[in-house]
Structure 1
Amino acid sequence: MEYMGDKQYWDEKFEQRSDKPLNPEKSLVENIKYLKKGSVLDVACGDGRNTLFLLQNKFKVTGIDFSNKALQRLERFTKRNKYSVDVKQVDLTMPDSLKNIGIFDNIVINYYRLKKEQIDNIKSNLSDIGIL
């Protein structure tokens, strides 16, 4: 299995970044038209490059990540732009980590590989005909 880093690794990585968010993922920009209007769960959102793009496009976004430093940066970026975002610190290495997150119209996952149990259960986080 590929080493993805522990919480300290990711906290340090986000602390070293500039005070400007990265650009959103190209595939999200190209495919945003396929998302349902409404809510989005951004899984492993980091400091919010995709969350910010979704907020700009009038989605209600919940961002989850296990790095507190990343979530602090995301909150700072959203305040600058007067956006409202719900952030939750979640350890996705735990099999039931998505259990009480809520139900969303869309779920976006970039650069994170969920465990098999999480993939099997994630449909319970989607509304009827939700988009993953």
Structure 2
Amino acid sequence: MTKPTKQWYASWFNTPYYHILYKDRDYSEAQLFMDNLTNYLNIPEGGKILDLACGKGRHSIYLNELGFDVTGVDLSEQSIKHAQQFENDTLRFDVHDMSKPYPDTFDAVFNLFTSFGYFEDETCNLKTIKSIKAELNDFGFGVIDFMNVNYVMDQLVSEDIKTVEGIDFHQNRSVKDGYIVKDISFDADGEHYEFQERVKAFTLEDFEALFEEAGVYLLDVFGDYKLKTYHAQTSERLIMIFK
């Protein structure tokens, strides 16, 4: 049995079952978001983008297809190993802890699809924003695309079963100690597995406090992937542009 670990993301993201559970994510919507975001930021042709917590690199690959020079980094060695098969002269992948500055500067640093707030050590959240600041060139923009916790908590389904590729994933969701928690259990390949996802329930006000402490400036806030206005209770996303 695989028990939850302190750094849950380090073990869960490295399993094939994580990718099975989330295989039906809407990547056409994600690509539309990338189109809208890069147009809004007016990133120059051939501009450099750092994709923080890139997973298996699907969005890095798409950004590269749009003509950008892309570096994708992730803590998961398995995900990066998979992504590296797609590397070319303007697309590279690297294992990296996003709470530490990457040794280069970029026209944009993207942290997408709620890939923030995982850390057990809360100081790493501030360190990540300071690292993004260090990774931006003089004209660069940082982007954090986070869940809107007000909306998520209002819509929270406490328990369900999701069946993918013949695996019944039992999912239990709750709010504990300022975190949105999902406990996942399932049987696969003759073994029983238990994992837990924990994401800090950051509000816009929480991010504003982190930004102020990190010395970055919030420029704009959007509420969905079409870059519509953010509404605190009804928007599905919290997309923040800063520098």
Q: TM-score range by the shorter chain?
A: 0.7 to 0.9
Gapped regions of structure 2 (runs ≥ 5) = 1-5, 118-124, 143-243
| 1:8 paired residue number | 11
- Residues 27, 14 of structure 1: alpha-carbon distance in 2 compared, 3 angstrom cutoff: farther
Contact 2:54 2:73 (8 Å CA) reproduced: yes
Kindly indicate whether residue 69 of structure 2 is the aligned counterpart of residue 63 of structure 1: no
Paired residue secondary structure (2:116): coil
Match of 2:54 among 38, 45, 50: 45
Assess if the C-alpha contact under 8 Å between 1:39 and 1:61 holds in 2: yes
Matches within 5 A, 1:110-121: 110=112, 111-113=114-116, 115-121=125-131
1:91 deviates by: 2.4
Q: 2:116 and 2:81 mapped to 1: Cα distance?
A: 23
- SS of the equivalent of 2:14 reads helix
3-state secondary structure, aligned to 2:104? coil
What is the TM-score when the length of structure 1 is the normalising length? 0.75
Q: Determine what percentage of the aligned residue pairs are the same residue.
A: 22
CA RMSD in angstroms, aligned pairs only? 3.0
Q: Unaligned regions of 5+ residues in structure 1, if any?
A: none
Q: In the alignment, what sits opposite 1:27?
A: 33
- Equivalent pairs counted in the alignment come to 122
**Which digits, 9 at most, give the CA deviation of each residue in 1:71-108, with x for residues without a partner?**
122122x25xx66422110123xx4x12x431001111
The structure having more radius of gyration, on CA atoms, is 2
How far is 1:121 from its partner? 4.0
TM-score when scaled to structure 2? Answer: 0.43
Q: Which protein, 1 or 2, shows the higher relative CO under an 8 Å CA cutoff with sep ≥ 6?
A: 1
Take 1:70 and 1:50, find their aligned partners in 2: how far apart are those partners? Answer: 13
Larger helix proportion, structure 1 or 2? 1
* Residue type at the aligned position of 1:30: N
Structure number with the higher strand fraction is 2
Say which of 77, 91, 115 aligns to 1:85.
91
Higher deviation after alignment, 4-13 or 63-72: 4-13
Residue 73 (structure 1) aligns with: 82
Query: Which runs of 4 or more aligned residues in structure 1 lie more than 3 Å from their structure 2 counterparts after TM superposition?
Result: 13-17
2:8 match: secondary structure? coil
